[in-house]
Amino acid sequence: MEKLTFYAVSAPEKLDRIGAYLAERLSRDVVRHRSGYVLIAMEALDQLLMACHSQSIKPFVESFLHMVAKLLESGEPKLQVLGTNSFVKFANIEEDTPSYHRRYDFFVSRFSAMCHSCHSDPEIRTEIRIAGIRGIQGVVRKTVNDELRATIWEPQHMDKIVPSLLFNMQKTEEADSRLGPPSSPSAAEKEENPAVLAENCFRELLGRATFGNMNNAVRPVFAHLDHHKLWDPNEFAVHCFKIIMYSIQAQYSHHVIQEILGHLDARKKDSPRVRAGIIQVLLEAVAIAAKGSIGPTVLEVFNTLLKHLRLSVEFEASDSHRGSVGSVTLSSKDNDEKIVQNAIIQTIGFFGSNLPDYQRSEIMMFIMGKVPVFGTSTHTLDISQLGDLGTRRIQIMLLRSLLMVTSGYKAKTIVTALPGSFLDPLLSPSLMEDYELRQLVLEVMHNLMDRHDNRAKLRGIRIIPDVADLKIKREKICRQDTSFMKKNGQQLYRHIYLGCKEEDNVQKNYELLYTSLALITIELANEEVVIDLIRLAIALQDSAIINEDNLPMFHRCGIMALVAAYLNFVSQMIAVPAFCQHISKVIEIRTMEAPYFLPEHIFRDKCMLPKSLEKHDKNLYFLTNKIAESLGGSGYSVEKLSVPYVPQVTDEDRISRRKSIVDTVSIQVDILSNSIPSDDVVSNTEEITFEALKKAIDTNGMEEQEKEKRRLVIEKFQKAPFEEIAAQCESKANLLHDRLAQILELTIRPPPSPSGTLTITSGHAQYQSVPVYEMKFPDLCVY
């Protein structure tokens, strides 16, 4: 060997003839099963290959690869392992210039076949599989470094390489799962364990993948998992994609997520457990990708997940419909669909919670736009096939997703967290038809309102002896929050007021409503808002006493307990001694005479309920005059306390199933229709004072009255006789003329004579001539 090596190095042009001769001898010895000569020939070839690095080695390499192929084709395991070892040595040699005409198709196929060896002897089978994995690793190392030679990434090669590696990873994982939790392998075990070796090779392959060939490396994984039915259970699938996400370059993470979403779309008609397995894999991938670059796939992820959420609800609704006909085994299938839905919600929540705030607010709007809400065609989720039950189910699912996304969201101003386009559909009566929907809406609001993490301190509705012990964190109310309450406060009060009066409320509903009032007080309340909240609490107390909605006694006592808990809280927050004294006195009397009006008693099991509330002493109730007197003495503007709170009425309420709101609307219409005269009466001219302006600003129920007035005026002009309308207009014109003359006399001295007259004629009615005065200003002429 020393002489041969010296000769080859001295005369490199002879290498191709040496290689051809050795290849001929080896081929003959392999056929004749002369293993000793085969070993000698391969050792000679290996040493020559390692010693010679000249340009003339190219023809020699062709002979060398031809001999390795001969060994791999033989049926003897020892020769196959020998050929693999020689190829691995060759793969570790760095060539000066790449050889573009050389192809490794045969070696990819042969090594992949060795990875699936089914030899009867377990030791030999393991040895052959290890040789196949090492051979694939050698092919990868030899080819991926050459940028101009990208043949290894072609689908026909990846479809052999990737499943071969996954097959070995999977087999040992099954064995490990039977034996118990695996221990970390030593260096020697790594060489002898096909699974560890295959995993390392898989990581190396993915680590070398680039933008253009990433998808070719990932798609065979889906095919393997589908073929071997590894989505249910999906432990191995999760393990594979964790390896993928951690091995690839971070900027390519969104490619993998897109592939998972595409596969989820392709398998949308599979069993629920398969879909749930794919979604859980997506969750693991998203959990890793969210820490790095996720690029343009954010909305695509949410859009696809919400689409599959709708499909799952559709399947559940159709199955339950068929189940009503008599199927027996549908309960387990319904449970499977719930597993899918929970997996989707968990994925949405985890992904959303890892996004930056600016992206999270967009996702909140995106999800809210999918929620089916009455009167808006803006929701982009197709619910035509769902029916009422399915629509309610999708509303719950979407709100649960929204709750996950909003968890931990901290906005500097409440306007950022609750813009009008988000708040309006969230507080829609369409989301009040069910107690669970109302709970989710309130919890979403709590996530967005609670900017100082006070919600945990307020958990559970109770009479707090000393609020100072809670160590509530709060800041001074900023101008943006004040303007938000002026614009949207009535909407929030209305939602709380109506939510308290629902017949299907449970204890959790009252707890969340109490927390809502407390959070508004902490985060958004100035003196004006505090007065509004107290008005709201008194209105709730009155509604429980009068009981126009025929609520059960438990719900009436629950409302009374909610009012007591909140007034106790707000009295200590604003710290007005007289106010605190009145609240404490009422609570003390209730403790002695009517404990069912307190949250600690009414929400306890087997609480004794009264037969009626009308016969109770007024000392058991919070009195408006006492509250106004106590707050007025401390400088609060208490005029509004004398005006009973009435919730705003929306167009949706007219078609909603809520009896109380429909009754309120009809009462308002009756009052308005009676207040508008049918005769020719000159409309009252009200003096504009500070109190009148204040009443105009207070918009409680005024918007609906204005709409009704406009409707009645239009109806009158359409149906009343012309003479009647003309007479009324004449009287108004005379009044306008008199008022205009008064204004002109007070402000601008008119010229000696009018500049003309104006005569108004309509049909057979003629109005008196009106003098026209002309006044000159620098850039303005007023008639």
pLDDT at 36: 83
Q: What is the per-residue pLDDT for 741?
A: 63
Q: Which residues make Cβ contacts (< 8 Å) with residue 160, sequence separation at least 6?
A: 108, 109, 112
Could you read off the pLDDT of 279-331 as tens digits, one per residue? 999 988 888 876 655 556 678 888 888 889 888 888 887 776 665 554 444 55
Q: Compute the average pLDDT of residues 501-514.
A: 94
CA atoms within 13 A on the CB side of 510: 28
User: Hey, how many other C-beta atoms are within 10 angstroms of the C-beta on 255?
Assistant: 18
Residue pLDDT, tens place only, 710-766 = 777 776 666 666 666 776 777 776 766 666 666 555 544 444 455 555 554 444 444
Beta strands in 606-739 (DSSP E): none
Q: What span, in angstroms and rounded, lies between the C-alpha atoms of 167 and 179?
A: 19
Any idea which of 455-464, 489-498, 590-599, 683-692 has the lowest mean pLDDT? Answer: 683-692
d(C-alpha 106, C-alpha 156), whole Å: 12
Question: Contacts by 316-322 with C-beta closer than 8 Å and gap 24+?
Answer: 316/341, 316/390, 316/393, 317/385, 317/386, 317/387, 317/389, 317/390, 317/393, 320/389
Residue 83 makes CB contacts below 8 A (sequence gap 6+) with 42, 67, 68, 69, 70, 71, 72
Mean pLDDT taken over the chain: 79
pLDDT at 180: 43
Please give the C-alpha separations between residue 455 and each of 176, 258, 299, 451, 613, in angstroms, as whole numbers: 46, 38, 30, 9, 32
- Give the pLDDT score at 317: 78
Mean pLDDT of 553-574: 95
* Model pLDDT, residue 19: 75
List the one residue out of 360, 368, 608, 647 whose CA is nearest residue 500.
647
Q: What is the pLDDT of residue 148?
A: 47
pLDDT-derived band of residue 688, with 50, 70 and 90 as boundaries?
A: low
Instruction: List the alpha helices (DSSP H) in 450-575.
Output: 479-500, 507-524, 527-546, 553-574
Residue 236's pLDDT band (boundaries 50, 70, 90)? Answer: very high
Residue 672 in 3-state DSSP?
helix
Q: What is the DSSP string of 276-306?
A: HHHHHHHHHHHHHHTTS--GGGHHHHHHHHH
Give strand pairing partners of 758: 770
Percent of the chain with pLDDT over 70: 74
- The confidence band for 66, taking pLDDT boundaries of 50, 70 and 90, is confident
Mean pLDDT for 421-442 is 89
Instruction: State the number of CA atoms in the 13 A half-sphere of 688 facing the CB.
Output: 1
The residue extents of the domains of the chain are 209-318+335-373, 414-654
Question: How many residues appear in the chain?
Answer: 783
Mean per-residue pLDDT, 417-432:
88
User: Which is higher by pLDDT, 419 or 5?
Assistant: 419
Angle at 274 between CA 270 and CA 275, to 5 degrees: 75
Mean pLDDT of 702-708: 69
Higher pLDDT, 343 or 172: 343
Q: How confident is the model at residue 703 (pLDDT cuts 50, 70, 90)?
A: low
Q: Is the pLDDT of residue 368 over 60?
A: yes
According to the model, what pLDDT value does residue 228 have?
92
SS3 of 647, please?
A: coil
When pLDDT is averaged across residues 16-35 and rounded to a whole number, the result is: 80
Q: What is the pLDDT of residue 569?
A: 96
Q: Determine if residue 180 is left, alpha or beta; phi over 0 gives left, psi from -120 to 50 gives alpha, anything else beta.
A: left
| Structure confidence at residue 9 (pLDDT) | 77
- What pLDDT is recorded for position 633? 87
Q: Find, among 490, 397, 493, 415, the residue nearest to 451 by Cα.
A: 415
State residue 430's pLDDT score.
Answer: 78
Rounded Cα–Cα distance for residues 695 and 56 (Å): 101
Contact status, residue 497 vs residue 645, Cβ threshold 8 Å = yes
- Per DSSP bridges, beta strands 761-762 and 756-758 are unpaired
What share of the chain has pLDDT > 90, as a percent?
36
> How many angstroms separate the first and last alpha carbons of the chain?
120
Stretch 642-662: mean pLDDT? 62
**Alpha-carbon span 461 to 712, nearest angstrom:** 46
Report pLDDT for 244: 94
CB 246 within 8 A of CB 285: no
Answer yes or no: is pLDDT of 538 > 60: yes
pLDDT score, position 607? 80
CB 169, CB 196: distance < 8 Å: no
The residue among 229 and 775 whose pLDDT is bigger is: 229
